[in-house]
Amino acid sequence: MNFPPPITRLIQHFRGLPGVGPRTATRFVFALLNKSEDELRAFGHTLVDFKHSIRTCKECFNISLQDPCEICSNQKRERTLLCIVARPQDIQAIEETREYNGLYHVLGGVLNPIDGVTPEQLRIKELLTRLEGEQKFQEIILALNLDIEGEATALYLAKLLKSRVPKVTRLARGLPQGADLEYADEVTLINALKGRRDI
């Protein structure tokens, strides 16, 4: 026996999502079988339509309902400070800290030669154009993941940007909140020692 075709089809669609294997997808579909027709209709229509109203900001490449986005068009933001992130959802994470008040630039990924992501595929040309514009940035913060690809991209950008902007920084490296020294990995501990600060 196999599942009826409509169920198999829906399972296939869910399997297209990141990290979803056949068992999780099946679990999702059986959970949905218990939802009302109204809920399923709302879910399905949101899925079909959600992308239509989403714009990509031509300034920073954040996603938004408007172009330029809420951040770029907000005159209260510090316009000499630019934070470079890989993806729009990274902006969300930084905004939630309420600690940053500058502008952003979304690269659209990180360098990854194995997957064929070269500098041409990232929004680096757009970044350089932006730096040459009227708006003079005083500092660029590289806020990329601390994995191999993120680090390589940060080094690449640092080299490229140092001659163009007075200050290029990256996020502090060290022990995360709640860390246990005994279980911290070696690289994190080295970074925490090297970056030690007066208390």
**Footprint of a second copy (CB under 8 A):** 1-7, 9-10, 13, 16-19, 24, 26-33, 35, 37, 39-54, 63-65, 70-71, 87-89, 91-92, 95
Judged by beta carbon, residue 56 or residue 188, the one nearer a second copy is: 56
Closest separation between CB of residue 27 and a second copy, Å?
A: 6
Closest separation between CB of residue 95 and a second copy, Å?
A: 4
> Residue 192: enclosing H or E segment and its boundaries?
helix 186-194
Closest separation between CB of residue 133 and a second copy, Å?
A: 23
Judged by beta carbon, residue 71 or residue 161, the one nearer a second copy is: 71
Peptide bond into 68 cis (omega under 30): yes
Judged by beta carbon, residue 163 or residue 177, the one nearer a second copy is: 177
Closest separation between CB of residue 132 and a second copy, Å?
A: 27
Spatial separation of the C-alpha atoms in residues 131 and 135, rounded to whole Å: 7
Counting runs of H as helices and runs of E as strands, what totals does the chain give? Answer: 7, 6
Judged by beta carbon, residue 1 or residue 193, the one nearer a second copy is: 1
